[in-house]
Structure 1
Amino acid sequence: MNEDTVVSDLADYTAFQRDLLWALSHDNTHNGRSLKTELDDYYGEDLDHGRLAQTLDALVEDDFVAKRARDERTPEYRLTEHGRRALSARQAWQAGHRGDTTSEEHS
């Protein structure tokens, strides 16, 4: 997998999906409740639990997130290596484009 492929891995994902990956990158594992709390705080609103669960399931299916059962009722989530590489490449791409202006824009 080349660097361009890793950068573009998250190009078609929503901001919510990328925010969820970012939240997962802060600690090794999270449960759904801790993720919901973190994103509720960030967005300043009470997010729908169903939306969060569906988004996590999609990210698991796409191999950005791994899911395991901590107990019978509590799944835990963590970024996969693929998820870490994709998020890191996305952040590097964003950092390279911050304040990126050309002289043509100022003419």
Structure 2
Amino acid sequence: MEGLTAFQRDLLYVIADADHPSGQDIKDEIERYYSTEINHGRLYPNLDTLVNKELVEKGELDRRTNYYAITDEGNTAIQERREWESQYVDL
């Protein structure tokens, strides 16, 4: 998770919990969490960053719709983050 913003980390968590969500699915979920509208200019560049860091893979559902899926590296990053957090927060 090194080098990720909190927003990118939240996107990663949303993707990890879903089965090949589309960008719109991710947008809907993250808007519920943030209780505000997230514009495409914020969402898609951040998704591309996760793809470029190989934490998420991007594929095509159809000609207009992409899907996103967590990679093994993404799962490892989440696990490492949770282990780090557990040092400071006792759940």
TM-score surpassing 0.5? yes
- TM normalised by structure 1 equals 0.80
1:5 paired residue number? none
Q: How far apart are the structure 1 equivalents of 2:74 and 2:40?
A: 22
Aligned CA RMSD, in angstroms, stands at 1.0
Of stretches 25-34 and 59-68 in structure 1, the one that deviates more from structure 2 is 25-34
Aligned to 1:40: 31
Please tell me the residue identity of whatever aligns with 1:23: V
* 1:57, distance to aligned residue in structure 2 (A): 0.7
Report sequence identity in percent.
Answer: 36
Question: Where do 1:10-25 residues align within 5 Å?
Answer: 10-25=1-16
Instruction: Write the distance in 2 (CA, Å) between the matches of 1:74 and 1:33.
Output: 9
Is it true that 1:85 corresponds to 2:79 in the alignment? no
Structure 2: gaps of 5 or more residues = none
List 4+ stretches of structure 1 deviating above 2 A: none
Aligned length: 90
SS of the residue corresponding to residue 68 of structure 1 reads: strand
SS at 2:69's partner residue?
A: strand
CA deviations 1:37-69 (Å, max 9, x no partner) are: 000000000011121100011110110000000
**1:22 CA drift (Å):** 0.6
Gaps of 5+ in 1: 1-9, 100-107
Which residue does 1:104 correspond to in 2?
none
1:78-97 CA distances to partner (integer Å, 9 max, x unpaired)? 11100010011101111221
